[in-house]
Each structure stands twice: as C-alpha cells, then as structure tokens.
Structure 1
Amino acid sequence: MVTGRSGQRRSETAAVELDAYLREFRAGGYSLARVVQVACVRCGGSEFGVRVDDDVGYVERTCHFCGDRWVMVDAADVAEDADPGDAACLCGGERFDVAVGFALREDGEVRWVSVALRCLADGVLGVYADWEIDYSPSGHLMARI
C-alpha cells in the first residue's frame, strides 16, 4: 500500500480542486504550467485504481468502470525497474480522481511531473508521485496521461 506523502490532509469536495492543490505543492520547487484532469480514453470514466512506485517515477491507472489500464507519462520507460504498490488513502480508500501537473522549462519542454489523487471515499488529496524529466524532447509527455 502506498499513501500520499504531501504532509497535509485536506478534505476537498470537488475533483477540480486537484488543480489548485497541485499548483500549491510546487514539486521540485517549480511552478506548474499545466494541470490535466485524467479521464479514461476508452469510456470517459474518472474513477481509477492507481499503482505507484515513486522511487522510479512509475504510475499506472486502471479505470473503475471499464477496466482499461494505462501506464502514465513516461512510466513505461522504467517499468522493468518498478515495484509498484496499490495507492491507498489513509482512510483505506483505493478509488481516486487523478490529475497530473507539469512544470516546464523555458523552451516548453517538461521539467517535472507530479501526480495527485483525490480519494473518492473521503475527498482527501495527496501527491503520490513526482519526478524530474531530464531529457528532451519531452513535450509529448503532456498527452500521455
């Protein structure tokens, strides 16, 4: 079981507040240029089970409605080294709204990625994974959520 490590428990009522939460988090000390709310490509659902290995920058999500599984951002590149665990809220909830924040370099390439979850059981927010992107080009990662 992996729990959020943001250090704050904040009960929010709407998934859109993930945007403000991620912007306040400022992973790596950088301001976010873009936050994307995640929806299932297959069915449009927004409830996910999530597996995370923050040590290597691995996140995958599984749609609660249709079962579609998606390895997010550039996590497929580190899948061999990953040992993901199921994300879980401190309340025990394992169904989440998901948002991804992107900090950009001056040239528009991705510098840092942060993945935040909002527990659907109690509304608590947390950043479950964030990592630096140290290669270019990387702008395509914003479409791989």
Structure 2
Amino acid sequence: MHDEPGPGLHNGEERGATFEDLAAFLQRPEPDGYPVQVVRECVCRSCGGRAFEVAVMADEAARRTCLACRETEFIADSEEYWDDDAEADYCCACLCGGEEFAAAVGFSLREDGDVRWVYVGLRCLACGALGLYEDWKINYGPSAFLLDRA
C-alpha cells in the first residue's frame, strides 16, 4: 500500500462497539509497523456528530462527511493533497456493505513529538467491524498540530 510498513486492512474478523475498542485496535502492535502513541476520535466540529461517510484518495488524503449535518472535514493534512478536480479513489465501505462509520485517527510520533505516520481507523456502524482504511507518512515538521485534525 505504501513505501514503508504500516498495518494492513481489516479482514472483517475484529469487532467493536465503542471508541475505546477502535482505539485499542489502532494501538495494537503490527509487525514492522510504527507504534501508535495517540488516538483521537473524529467528532464533527459543527454539530458534535460521531457518524461519518469517509472518502480517500490514494496515498495521503482522507475526508469525512458528518451524517448528521453533512459538514465535510479533512483528516490530518489531507486538504493539502486532496484533488478537488478528481473524484475520490473510493468511498469507504465495510465487507458487510455498510458505508457509515465511527472514525478515529491514530498517530505515530517521533521522539520530538512531531507526527511520523497517520492511521485512519473506522468502526462500521452496521456490524461493528474494525478496520484500517488509510495510512500515510508525514515527511515534514513541525507536525504536532496534526494531532488536532482528527
């Protein structure tokens, strides 16, 4: 998926019911992956909603749309890489067919506190399946401000 190691996509076997379940999923060590030190729940800045449709563009961009108010927000630094003239590479969907999710962002940090890697985790609201739907490397600093852009 990327030029450096990261967790793989879900296989539909892990389930959860809460943000804590999704956070634990993102923090679980993966072979050759970077450790996730911080997990932030995605919460709509407009209405406080916690249910989303999520679209991604390959390599470094994810955007969420609140199901309650339809407000769209970019995850981490995705706005810089999002191509408004192109369609998203895909809208996230669970193996069960569900397209509505609770979302969280896991951050792997460098020793200086800057973000090294971003992981977008989703929990299907239909069946509870947990999965990693996108991840990307942060090649610049300072980047700690991204922790507030889940």
Q: Indicate the RMSD between aligned Cα atoms, in angstroms.
A: 1.9
Match of 1:63 among 61, 66, 70: 66
CA distance in 1, matches of 2:94, 2:121: 12
CA distance in 1, matches of 2:127, 2:95: 10
Q: Are residues 57 and 82 of structure 1, via their aligned partners in 2, closer, same or farther at CA, if it must alter by over 3 Å?
A: farther
Show the counterpart of 2:51: 47
List alignment gaps of at least 5 residues for structure 1: none
Normalised TM-score (structure 2): 0.86
Q: Is the contact made by 1:56 and 1:82 (CA closer than 8 Å) also made in structure 2?
A: no
Q: Counterpart amino acid of 1:119? A: C
List alignment gaps of at least 5 residues for structure 2: 1-7
Q: Counterpart amino acid of 1:90? A: L
Map 1:125-144 to 2 at 5 A.
Answer: 125-144=130-149
Deviations 1:18-52 (A, max 9, x none): 11000015496221111001111111010000001
Q: Is the contact made by 2:39 and 2:104 (CA closer than 8 Å) also made in structure 1?
A: yes
CA distance in 2, matches of 1:32, 1:97: 18
Q: Is the contact made by 1:28 and 1:112 (CA closer than 8 Å) also made in structure 2?
A: no
Q: Is the contact made by 1:27 and 1:112 (CA closer than 8 Å) also made in structure 2?
A: no
Show the counterpart of 1:16: 20
Deviation at 1:83, TM superposition (A): 3.6
The answer to whether residue 87 in structure 2 is matched with residue 110 in structure 1 is no
Q: Is the contact made by 1:27 and 1:130 (CA closer than 8 Å) also made in structure 2?
A: no
* Count, aligned residues: 141
Deviations 1:38-87 (A, max 9, x none): 1111110100000012x321100000001100011111111128743110
Normalised TM-score (structure 1): 0.89
Q: Per the alignment, in what secondary structure is the counterpart of residue 79 of structure 1?
A: coil
